[in-house]
Amino acid sequence: YRRAITRACDQAFPPPPQLKGESLARWIDGHRWTPGQLRHNKATEVASKIKIEVARDLLGHTDIATTLRYVKVEDKRLIRAARKLG
């Protein structure tokens, strides 16, 4: 799975040919995604559009705390509500 994402990034975002060594490594670090990053991004998108409890179910989590680890929650009301729900 990770390898497939890396290959897709390589095809979609080929590095500039003039970059070498450390510059190339920094560029790659900023233009490659990991499976975890993709999951976090999708979880954040899902939770921004629907209730966090529904997002938990869609993401396959049994504990809402797991969902909150994946979601970038900026609304303090959501955080408090999720903690109350356990």
Residue 38: name the closest of 11, 4, 15 by CA: 4
Q: Is the pTM value of this prediction over 0.75?
A: no
- Res. 86: pLDDT tops 70: no
Give the C-alpha separation, 83 to 77, whole Å.
10
Give the C-alpha separation, 34 to 9, whole Å.
10
The pLDDT, as a whole number, for residue 73 is 62
The pLDDT, as a whole number, for residue 62 is 92
| Confidence bin at 74 (pLDDT 50/70/90) | low
**What token pair was written down for 34?**
């990991």
Spans of all domains in the chain: 1-33, 35-85
